[in-house]
């Protein structure tokens, strides 16, 4: 059963890029990086993703809860709303978070570890979507992105499980993780209350058969399907 709700953009949501960057600078200090996070294969893991229809000004977020041991779907929810911010590199969170928060709130059970489609610490101001969502909810969060953004990395060795640092200059902000032999890696970073090493281990545990973790695959499919049938939000 899937719960569907309406998402509202908060009244105090930033209206300009300057305001949004100021929010990131203010919240960044609240990120917790000294917790390892839950062991892979234990408890629950929730994938969140968002789909857009700019023509209709509709955004739909999905949250899909998986049993970490079996990767079976335990619960899922979607939230539809109006687009709250334009896409600006470095400010993705302001476009996705209101809908994602509504979807998480609509879940009938605790989400456990939250896996985001995007970055956490691997961000120009070290405060990407996953970190932002973690600070707002208090939940352990991590990011798995499909592209290296503006960061550099050396291609990991071919075997699944190989990794290489994702670098901002000399700083390791994340890791390129090979989830399938010889296939383009995914880009993992810590969000909140999860270590980078654990985020990489979680990613491998969540991606036994495909390049992308099951959390992202399931949440991506759900928000896209929901977008097709979404009514115009209030």
Partner DNA sequence: GCGACAG
Partner DNA sequence: ATCTTGTCGC
Q: Is 67 helix (H, G, I), strand (E, B) or coil?
A: strand
Long-range contacts of 169-178 (CB under 8 A, 24+ apart): 172/196, 173/121, 173/122, 173/123, 173/126, 174/119, 174/120, 174/121, 174/122, 174/143, 175/199, 175/200, 176/148, 177/203, 177/204
Closest approach of DNA to the CB of residue 50, in Å: 6
Alpha-helical segments (H) within 59-213 = 93-105, 129-137, 196-206
Shorter beta-carbon distance to DNA: residue 44 or 217 = 217
Closest approach of DNA to the CB of residue 117, in Å: 5
117: contact with DNA by CB under 7 A: yes
Shorter beta-carbon distance to DNA: residue 106 or 130 = 130
Q: How far is CA 179 from CA 119, 122, 143, 203, in A?
A: 17, 19, 15, 8
Helices 129-137 and 17-27, interaxial angle, to 10°? 60
Spell out, one character per residue from 181 to 220, where the chain touches DNA: x when CB under 7 A holds, - when not. Answer: ---------------------------------------x
98: contact with DNA by CB under 7 A: no
How many whole angstroms separate alpha carbon 95 and alpha carbon 132? 12
Closest approach of DNA to the CB of residue 150, in Å: 5
Shorter beta-carbon distance to DNA: residue 49 or 76 = 49
Alpha-helical segments (H) within the chain = 17-27, 93-105, 129-137, 196-206, 214-229
Spell out, one character per residue from 30 to 59, where the chain touches DNA: x when CB under 7 A holds, - when not. Answer: -------------------xxxxx------
49 is in an annotated binding site: yes
Residue in 40, 47, 112, 143 binding DNA, rule: CB under 7 A: 143
Residue in 23, 79, 104, 129 binding DNA, rule: CB under 7 A: 129
**Which residues make up each annotated binding site?**
49, 117
- Site residues for DNA per CB under 7 A: 49-53, 87, 89-93, 117-119, 123, 128-130, 143, 145-150, 220, 224, 227
């Amino acid at each position: 059963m899937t719960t569907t709700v309406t998402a509202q953009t908060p009244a105090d949501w930033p209206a300009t890029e300057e305001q949004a960057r100021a929010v990131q600078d203010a919240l960044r200090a609240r990120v917790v990086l000294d917790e390892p996070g839950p062991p892979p294969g234990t408890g629950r893991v929730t994938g969140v993703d968002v789909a857009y229809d700019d023509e209709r000004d509709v955004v739909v977020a999905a949250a899909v809860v998986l049993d970490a041991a079996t990767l079976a779907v335990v619960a899922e929810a979607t939230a539809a709303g109006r687009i709250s911010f334009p896409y600006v590199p470095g400010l993705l969170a302001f476009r996705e978070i209101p809908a994602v928060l509504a979807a998480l709130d609509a879940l009938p059970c605790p989400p456990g570890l939250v896996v985001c489609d995007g970055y956490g610490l691997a961000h120009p101001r070290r405060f990407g979507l996953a970190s932002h969502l973690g600070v707002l909810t208090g939940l352990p969060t991590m990011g798995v992105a499909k592209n290296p953004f503006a960061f550099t990395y050396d291609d990991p060795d071919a075997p699944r499980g190989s990794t290489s640092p994702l670098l901002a200059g000399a700083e390791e902000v994340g890791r390129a993780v090979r989830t399938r032999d010889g296939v383009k890696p995914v880009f993992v970073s810590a969000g909140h209350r999860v270590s980078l090493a654990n985020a990489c281990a979680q990613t491998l545990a969540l991606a036994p058969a495909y390049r992308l973790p099951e959390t992202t695959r399931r949440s991506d499919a759900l928000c896209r399907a929901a977008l097709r049938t979404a009514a115009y939000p209030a």
